[in-house]
Structure 1
Amino acid sequence: MPSLLTVLRDPSSRRPDPEPLAVDLFRVIAVGTAIWGAVLLGAVVVHLTTATDAARWVQVACAGLALGGIGLAWSARNRKRWQSERG
């Protein structure tokens, strides 16, 4: 393996990039969205049962759910293409 200095001087001397892993992003995004849903439930419970002002937590969790929904829609639309490329 070439040293860092050698690679900085001559980038072509570095090892080739590894092949990217085939990952089903729909599952990854679904897990993240489910976690945001659990955070939302917890934030609502804290907000309603304590004197703590957890409104910001609720807002952040709602934003996480919204972005997760966008991600799920995007990954569902591109899932067929990904599966056909994967073979």
Structure 2
Amino acid sequence: MADVRNDSPTGENIPELPAVLREPAPVIVVGMAGWLVATIVAVIAGVGGLTLAVCLWGLGVGVLGTMIVGVQLAAVRRGSKTAQEGLE
């Protein structure tokens, strides 16, 4: 049976989202793959300047997101009180 919360203003029970829908990793991987494809297309097409910069920044944000999730997972595994809940 799924966990049920009673956070609704009307008092209705709201079921928890399945764990697969709360996972951050697939979103980060798909986003990084999209930015990687866009970067490759921009380089092959010879487009430089702002377009290439935006693609590279998109990849950088993906790397940053991966690092944040990794740090949070490590904190959860070692039992830190300040770790984000629901990652594992």
TM-score (norm 1): 0.62
Deviation string, structure 1 residues 6-65 (Cα, Å, up to 9, x no partner): xxxxx8326343323423212320221111011000011112xxxxx5422111101100
Gaps of 5+ in 1: 1-10, 48-52
Higher relative contact order (CA 8 A, sep 6+): 1
Higher strand share: 2
Q: Report the identity percentage.
A: 24
Instruction: Specify the alignment match of 2:26 in structure 1.
Output: 27
Runs (4+) off by over 4 Å: none
Which residue identity does 1:68 align to in structure 2? G
Structure with higher Rg: it is: 1
Instruction: Specify the alignment match of 1:57 in structure 2.
Output: 51
Q: Which moved more, 1:64-73 or 1:23-32?
A: 23-32
Instruction: Specify the alignment match of 1:76 in structure 2.
Output: 70
Please, what is the CA RMSD of the aligned residues?
2.2
Cα distance in 1 for partners of 2:58, 2:28 equals 11
Higher helix share: 1
Gaps of 5+ in 2: 1-7, 77-86
- The size of the alignment, in residue pairs, is 68
TM-score (norm 2): 0.62
